[in-house]
């Protein structure tokens, strides 16, 4: 069997299978007149470079509207469907994907989009001198072969059934005619290009005022038709409280809110609050290479000391499930609930620490071989859930005899520190929105570009490889189920919650897809202002 996205088909004797998608109908847009014009405004927490090579949150949001991907997630099912690729084929041996590209695509400067751009982008992703944060997603790619301007082959060293799903996840295509002559060093931050970045997406760069806003304008030549809106504006507002205030006044149209903020917006007549399913989990992250946290008994003790049920009811306002691992329940076919869990049990935590050789000194702080159990916990100010969770964890671990210092940094600084090689942190509270595939090797395989926990387990590495090779859904479920069991035992992260995505949106906005807003913005050409 061969599986493309979620579809299982028998292997043919020749190249089998032509896949999906051209323009897909969108709820509320088919067969009806949509109002044109106006602006959509969202807050972001820091200045975005609008550069897909660097994976910070603000970049992700701006990149969604300005750049395109070969494949994107469907706005309802999260199946991989075409974006710049109109369709794709898979060879019988599973080692060659042939992407058939759209013919009516132009870059924002009018230059035609061709297979050269795709080949250049893959070579950029694969270049070890360029710190691309999702390189692990294409680790099985050996190269590309241009067939003609609108057809390209992606060559694999072994079958990789998850490739379309991974390509749909933040892997934006770059313009070869503007960036192709830059050195790897210049590609880290291409200063001139980023003064006016060029993509193929529904919106193009218009202007920016550093520290204030970024404005994108409608791309009149967008290959799926001009967006309904005239502009997409990102206001740089680090404080979530300020974002909420501007949502109330109508200066912002959308804010992803945390449970403690729901009451502050209840009754505001122009705001809708709703939840959508999302592939997300939150956690307390420990640097597994730090000597304090290398012993799994210590990590287990630290999670046993956290009363997650109480946190769920209070900090999360019961809008979450207790997290058991790295694959969210929303990915139903791959999620394995039958793994080791960690109930709140302080006595068990203390026993595990004692077993690991930690004893309290005269000042009440745990010591071992003359070393105090003292570490720095970094977090970003202003996010109520992360901040309250960090404060709770600090107090819980202090009761065990640990000495914890909280240090506050802007979120972009934290991302930079945890993604350095090697990472520059000891502990942090954070979250992932995962791709719509259980192939999370970029995050948890040894040496993965986004393996911020510094986790390494050869058996997990092997299983990720096996999961990629097979396209049999039953086998994949078994393989990824084993990965979840091993990681639940290893506990590379202190798993907290699978949260809902709670969206507060101005009622004047229409056309926002009912999936997580990061994936919804890949369909930003459907946004409109209601009359």
- 483 and 520 fall within a common domain: no
307-344: b (≥16 Cβ within 10 Å) or e:
bbeebbeebbbeebbbbbbbbbbbbeebbbeebeebeb
Q: Give the pLDDT score at 101.
A: 98
Whether the pLDDT of residue 522 is over 70: the answer is yes
Binned at pLDDT 50, 70 and 90, residue 130 comes out as very high
- 290 and 402 fall within a common domain: yes
Q: Is residue 364 part of a domain?
A: yes
Q: Give the pLDDT score at 32.
A: 63
Burial of 302 (0-12, 13-18, 19+ CB in 10 A): buried
Secondary structure letter of residue 328 according to DSSP: -
Whether the pLDDT of residue 12 is over 70: the answer is no
- 355 and 481 fall within a common domain: yes
Report phi then psi at 431, rounded to 5.
-155, 160
Q: Give the pLDDT score at 240.
A: 86
Whether the pLDDT of residue 500 is over 70: the answer is yes
- 337 and 456 fall within a common domain: yes
Q: Is residue 236 part of a domain?
A: no
Name the least confident of 25-39, 47-61, 266-280, 395-409: 25-39
Q: Is residue 249 part of a domain?
A: no
- 7 and 155 fall within a common domain: yes
- 183 and 313 fall within a common domain: no
- 494 and 521 fall within a common domain: no
Q: Is residue 269 part of a domain?
A: no
Alpha helices in 189-238 (DSSP H): 191-195
Q: Give the pLDDT score at 421.
A: 82
Neighbouring C-alpha atoms within 13 Å toward the C-beta of 372 = 13
Number of domains in the chain: 2
Distance, CA of 485 to CA of 492 (rounded, Å):
12
| pTM across the whole model | 0.81
Binned at pLDDT 50, 70 and 90, residue 8 comes out as very low
Q: Is residue 243 part of a domain?
A: no
Q: How many residues does the chain have?
A: 531
Q: Is residue 30 part of a domain?
A: no
- 190 and 56 fall within a common domain: yes
Mean pLDDT of 504-528: 93
- 511 and 397 fall within a common domain: no
Q: To the nearest 10°, the Cα dihedral for 479, 481, 483, 489? A: -150
Q: What is the CATH number of the domain that holds 141?
A: 3.90.76.10
Q: Give the pLDDT score at 373.
A: 98
Q: Is residue 239 part of a domain?
A: no
Whether the pLDDT of residue 100 is over 60: the answer is yes
Q: Is residue 260 part of a domain?
A: no
Binned at pLDDT 50, 70 and 90, residue 95 comes out as very high
- 332 and 366 fall within a common domain: yes
Q: Give the pLDDT score at 136.
A: 83
Q: Round the average pLDDT of the chain to a whole number and report it.
A: 91
Top mean pLDDT of 8-17, 258-267, 323-332, 486-495 is at: 486-495
pLDDT in tens, 184-228: 999 999 999 999 999 999 999 999 999 999 999 999 999 999 999
Give the gyration radius of the chain's Cα atoms.
Answer: 23
Residue 338 token pair: 């039958």
Whether the pLDDT of residue 19 is over 60: the answer is no
Whether the pLDDT of residue 28 is over 70: the answer is no
Binned at pLDDT 50, 70 and 90, residue 143 comes out as very high
Report phi then psi at 135, rounded to 5.
-55, -35
Q: Give the pLDDT score at 9.
A: 37
- 291 and 378 fall within a common domain: yes
- 300 and 197 fall within a common domain: no
Whether the pLDDT of residue 1 is over 60: the answer is no
Q: Give the pLDDT score at 442.
A: 87
Alpha helices in 67-133 (DSSP H): 115-126
Secondary structure letter of residue 33 according to DSSP: P
Q: Give the pLDDT score at 133.
A: 84
pLDDT in tens, 351-385: 999 999 999 999 999 999 999 999 999 999 878 89
Give the domain range for residue 103.
2-25+35-203+502-529
**How does DSSP assign 252-310, residue by residue?**
-SEEEE-GGGHHHHTT-TTEEEEEE---EEEEEEE-TTSGGG-SHHHHHHHHHT--HHH
pLDDT in tens, 429-458: 999 988 999 999 989 999 887 899 999 999
H or E element, residue 86? strand 85-90
Binned at pLDDT 50, 70 and 90, residue 105 comes out as very high
Q: What is the CATH number of the domain that holds 310?
A: 3.10.105.10
Q: Give the pLDDT score at 18.
A: 36
CB 153 within 8 A of CB 98: yes
Whether the pLDDT of residue 10 is over 70: the answer is no
């Amino acid at each position: 069997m061969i599986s493309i996205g979620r579809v299982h088909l028998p292997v043919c004797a020749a190249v089998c299978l032509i896949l999906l998608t051209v323009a897909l109908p969108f709820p509320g847009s088919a067969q009806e007149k949509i109002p044109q014009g106006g602006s959509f405004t969202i807050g972001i927490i820091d200045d975005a470079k609008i550069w897909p090579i660097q994976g910070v949150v603000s970049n992700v949001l701006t990149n969604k509207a300005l750049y395109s991907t070969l494949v994107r997630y469907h706005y309802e099912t999260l199946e991989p469907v075409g974006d710049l690729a109109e369709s794709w084929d898979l060879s019988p041996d599973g080692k060659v994907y042939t992407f058939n590209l759209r013919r009516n695509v132009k870059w924002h400067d009018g230059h035609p989009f061709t297979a050269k751009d795709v080949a250049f982008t893959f070579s950029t992703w694969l270049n070890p001198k360029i710190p691309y944060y999702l390189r692990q997603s294409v680790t099985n790619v050996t190269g590309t072969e241009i067939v003609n301007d609108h057809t390209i082959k992606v060559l694999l060293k072994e079958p990789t059934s998850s490739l379309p799903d991974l390509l749909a996840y933040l892997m934006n295509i770059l313009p070869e005619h503007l960036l192709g002559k830059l050195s790897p060093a210049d590609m880290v931050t291409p200063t001139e290009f980023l003064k006016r970045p060029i993509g193929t997406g529904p919106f193009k760069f218009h202007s920016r005022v550093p520290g204030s806003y970024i404005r994108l304008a409608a791309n009149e030549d967008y290959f799926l038709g001009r967006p309904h809106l005239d502009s997409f504006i990102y206001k740089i507002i680090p404080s979530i409280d300020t974002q909420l205030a501007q949502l109330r006044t109508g200066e912002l149209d959308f804010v992803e809110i945390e449970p403690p903020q729901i009451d502050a917006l209840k009754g505001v007549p122009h705001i809708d609050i709703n939840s959508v399913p999302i592939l997300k989990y939150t956690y307390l992250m420990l640097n597994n290479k730090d000597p304090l946290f290398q012993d799994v008994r210590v990590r287990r003790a630290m999670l046993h000391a956290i009363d997650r049920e109480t946190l769920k009811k209070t900090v999360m306002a019961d809008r979450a499930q207790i997290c058991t691992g790295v694959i969210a329940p929303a990915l139903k076919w791959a999620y394995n609930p039958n793994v080791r869990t960690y109930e709140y049990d302080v006595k068990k935590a203390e026993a595990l620490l004692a077993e690991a050789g930690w004893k309290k000194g005269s000042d009440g702080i745990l010591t071992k071989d003359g070393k105090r159990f003292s570490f720095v916990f970094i977090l970003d100010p202003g996010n109520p859930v992360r901040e309250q969770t960090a404060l709770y964890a600090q107090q819980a671990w202090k009761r065990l005899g640990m000495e914890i210092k909280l240090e506050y940094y802007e979120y972009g600084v934290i991302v930079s520190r945890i993604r350095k090689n090697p990472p520059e942190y000891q502990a942090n509270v954070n979250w992932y929105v995962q791709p719509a595939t259980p192939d999370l090797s970029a995050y948890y395989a040894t040496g993965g570009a986004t393996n911020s926990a510094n986790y390494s387990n050869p058996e997990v590495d092997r299983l990720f490889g096996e999961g990629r090779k097979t396209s049999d859904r039953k086998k994949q479920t078994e393989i990824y189920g084993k990965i979840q069991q091993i990681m639940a035992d290893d506990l590379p992260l202190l798993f907290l919650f699978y949260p809902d995505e709670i969206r507060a949106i101005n009622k004047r906005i229409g056309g926002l897809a009912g999936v997580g807003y990061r994936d919804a913005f890949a369909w930003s050409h459907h946004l409109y202002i209601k009359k």
